[in-house]
Amino acid sequence: MAFDTNRLAALKEFIPSEVRLRLSYHLDECWFVEFSPDGKWMASTGLDQSVIIWQDVLSLEPTVWKTVQYSRSITHAHWSPDSKHLLVNLGFDPVTPTYTPEMSVIDVATGETILTRKHHNGTRDIHALAVGWMDDSQHFVSAPSSGEIYIWNLKGEIIRKMEIDSEVVDKESNVIVEAMVMVRGQNTAIVADGQYKIRVINLETGECRFLDRMVTVPSAMTLSRDGQYLAIAMRGAEEVCRVAQVLVYNLKTLTFLRALEADTYLNANFVIRPSFCGPHNEILAAGSENGMVHFWDLETGEVIMTREEHSKHCGWTDMHAHLPGLMATCSDDNHIILWTTKDLSRALQDEDDKWMESSRKKSVGQLPFNLKKGW
């Protein structure tokens, strides 16, 4: 179909295409980056087995508020809705499989770990690939490989246990949740399982609605800010001539909208988490295993723009909750990049100038010697 040039020009204004900052504090690959819901913080994790909590994310020099070091790989880290806690999932570690899979909760204000425990109360070590938060920020959710969903309080006590699929014929075969995303304001989880089913589960009532069945396990899922749209990143597979795609659904109607793809969009082996951007979620952004960031028009499915700033796999994109023009991406090249739209870049210019002037005065300070007496 012919691309509307006027629409293309308008959408480009909503794309965070300008590099504002590069952060390279991680000592190895950076796998995850996410802004807090209140917009004041940012968290990142990586192969260096650390969780970094950043502050002053809108300044020209975001600083590290706290670094929490672990002895193993971190699969997920999720903000509580009130931005006061960070839930860290220490799932299955292929490098050190003897390590016990655990969950950890960090108090953001102090940087202290207030809870560490296994995914269940039994003797077996069971890992989870999916965790999330309930709306009250006092309870969190885990979906371990035993085939249930657990709801916990901040004391590490199980409040509720739910079976994921009561219709499984082979009860010895657990329905493993491979990916999960929580719908804010609804205490509802969207889960993708090892049977390739996508379900919408109300964690208060237990009501389960079927959304779709995939041809393979999704890479990752994300929701638009208003909870209307769901994006599912699907890996490609050369052996069956399947290209990597991002599938978009309307959650209000539980209907499929379209598949987004591009010749340069690669996702065969690693996790890629897309993000919705634009003032009305008109655009979808996603990294790629070649390091490129792609931006699609959700209405037409056309690629609006690509950006090449990462040199290796770019797995995670995240939009700021209160500034639709600010985006963060992370990569195996160790870098986190903060991106802005042209409009946001101009809006931040005055504050940037003040910050630079203040930094200049601090750096000058008092000379380390007396001009009259010398050293």
DSSP 8-class letter at 238:
G
Domain boundaries, the chain: 70-213
Per-residue model confidence (pLDDT) at position 170 = 40
Evaluate whether 266 touches 309 at the Cβ level (below 8 Å): no
Q: How far apart are CA 118 and CA 79, in angstroms?
A: 19
Closest by CA to 177, choosing from 117, 123, 131, is: 131
Burial label, 134 (beta-carbon count in 10 A; 0-12, 13-18, 19+): buried
H or E stretch covering 142: strand 139-144
Structure tokens at 254: 């539980």
Digit-coded pLDDT (tens) for 109-153? 999 999 988 766 655 566 677 899 999 999 999 887 777 889 999
Domain 70-213 has CATH 2.40.40.20: no
Q: How far apart are CA 116 and CA 137, in angstroms?
A: 17
Q: How far apart are CA 111 and CA 121, in angstroms?
A: 26
Per-residue model confidence (pLDDT) at position 93 = 63
Q: How far apart are CA 169 and CA 188, in angstroms?
A: 25
> pLDDT below 70 — which residues of the chain?
1-3, 91-99, 119-127, 165-174, 363-375
Other Cβ atoms less than 10 A from the Cβ of 67: the count is: 13
Q: Indicate whether this model's pTM tops 0.85.
A: yes
Q: How far apart are CA 166 and CA 207, in angstroms?
A: 12
